[in-house]
Structure 1
Amino acid sequence: MSYTALILAGGQARRMGGVDKGLVKLAGRPLIAHTLQALAQQSQPPQHILISANRHLDEYAAYGHPVLPDTLPDYPGPLAGLLAGMQAAPDATLLLLPCDALVLPKEFAARLLTALPGQQVVSASDPAQWHPSLLALQPGLAAALTAYLASGGRSIRGWLAGLQHQSVHFAQSLPNLNTLDDVRQLERQWPAG
């Protein structure tokens, strides 16, 4: 199944002190570069990649993929980035991932996509937690997302609660880097080279 990957790098990163999370460096490279590498190493790589970003658009565009600012004002959260991706690729099956999804199993995309038929959305979980921002989504959900956002909804979890949804469990831990300390801690374990 072909798919388009949508990388979320458009948030305010409040827990990181407001820095642009996708451009924070880990082992000398921005997180977005590691995430793009993780996608390239998938057993089933994406047909297209989109980057949702609201700052430093030229820096993200330098990676050679379309950059999509939010179409809604005032940074309404990750769902605004998802909506921009749905609007840019309305007929595509989307794989949504945040810009800190830099360690993914090689079969990550394939497993989510395999579970997608019969569901509207499939998410990922690991031994520690559920990751509602790691999703495979069927096309045709833009109207439902627009209605949820118009009603004041902002939570991915809240939106998923109203959809046909299942989660795929991975034995490997999937990083969730919310603070600069999280990045530094991962950097201490990061392989050299």
Structure 2
Amino acid sequence: MNPSMPSPSTFRREITAVILAGGRAQRMGGIDKGLVILNGKPMVEHVINALRREVDNIFINANRNLEQYRAFGFRVIPDIMDGFQGPLAGMASGMQAARTKYIVTVPCDSPLISDGLVRRLHEAMERENADISSVHDGDRTHPVFALIRCVLLPDLLEFLNAGERKIDRWYARHRLAIAYFDDTPNSFLNVNSPEERADLENKLVAERNQ
């Protein structure tokens, strides 16, 4: 192990995972995407199962169906801003609630997250001495998959209170590292419509039956 890297147990305690489930899901017909069943389980449960292998602390950022999300056994954090303000509002809400050095954010509609996501984001951050690290799958970036230092909360609140909502614009204010996942690009597949859910379900069933 690199001597500058924290031990696995320390690493787990330093990071709070925030699952972003606070959107309107308009392309899903307004259905809460985190609660959509895929391969026998709600999509948010697939995400939880991936994250709990790497972190001790998990929050779910949600603005509706709060009791259903609480049933998974984790703290549910509504947006600190009204009106479905987007993923940055969810990030700020998680940072405000966390008692850890970092948060890692992932969307609730990406059920194929692979092992090592958090570790590799942290390695990229440390390597670049950055404030934020985010994902590139070899083809494009996925900015909602990110590791963020919680000391950035005041700056993020200032940004949001000025009416800004674009993730890329906020990231540009800080030192950003990119973690490349071109070896596992499907880890960041997200499900935005009933058709995409059905397609992925069929693929998973086919793989299970092989």
Q: TM-score, normalised by structure 2?
A: 0.85
Q: Once the 2 structures are TM-superposed, how far is the Cα of residue 158 of structure 1 from its aligned partner? A: 1.9
Look up the equivalent residue of 1:179 and give its one-letter code: S
Distance 2:104 2:138 in 1: 21
Mean CA deviation greater in 66-75 or 101-110: 101-110
1:147 to 158, 164, 183: 158
Secondary structure of 1:143's counterpart equals helix
Give the corresponding residue for 2:113: 104
2:37 aligned with 1:21, yes or no? Answer: no
Task: Count how many residue pairs are aligned between Structure 1 and Structure 2.
Answer: 190
Look up the equivalent residue of 2:77 and give its one-letter code: L
Does the Cα contact within 8 Å between 1:91 and 1:140 map onto a contact in 2? Answer: no
Q: Once the 2 structures are TM-superposed, how far is the Cα of residue 90 of structure 1 from its aligned partner? A: 4.9
Q: Once the 2 structures are TM-superposed, how far is the Cα of residue 91 of structure 1 from its aligned partner? A: 3.9
1:172 to 142, 165, 184: 184
2:45 to 22, 26, 33: 33
Look up the equivalent residue of 1:178 and give its one-letter code: N
1:114-170 CA-to-partner distances (Å, cap 9, x unmatched) read 122310100011133210000011120111111111111112122112211021111
How many percent identity over aligned positions? 36
1:57-92 CA-to-partner distances (Å, cap 9, x unmatched) read 001000110000111111111111111101101543
Q: Which structure has the larger Rg?
A: 2
Where has structure 1 moved over 2 Å in runs of 4 or more? none
Does the Cα contact within 8 Å between 2:111 and 2:190 map onto a contact in 1? Answer: no
1:19-49 CA-to-partner distances (Å, cap 9, x unmatched) read 1010111112110011111113x4xx11200
Distance 1:90 1:66 in 2: 13
Distance 1:93 1:141 in 2: 10
Give the corresponding residue for 1:50: 59
Residue segments in structure 2 that go unaligned for 5+ positions in a row: 1-10
Q: TM-score, normalised by structure 1?
A: 0.93
Look up the equivalent residue of 1:182 and give its one-letter code: E
Distance 1:4 1:151 in 2: 26
Distance 1:34 1:107 in 2: 15
Distance 2:27 2:159 in 1: 25
Look up the equivalent residue of 1:28 and give its one-letter code: G
Secondary structure of 2:150's counterpart equals coil
Look up the equivalent residue of 1:22 and give its one-letter code: G
1:11 to 23, 32, 49: 23
CA-based RMSD: 1.5
Distance 2:56 2:51 in 1: 11
Matches within 5 A, 1:105-144: 105-117=114-126, 118-144=129-155
Structure with the higher helix share, 1 or 2: 2
Distance 1:17 1:64 in 2: 27
Residue segments in structure 1 that go unaligned for 5+ positions in a row: none
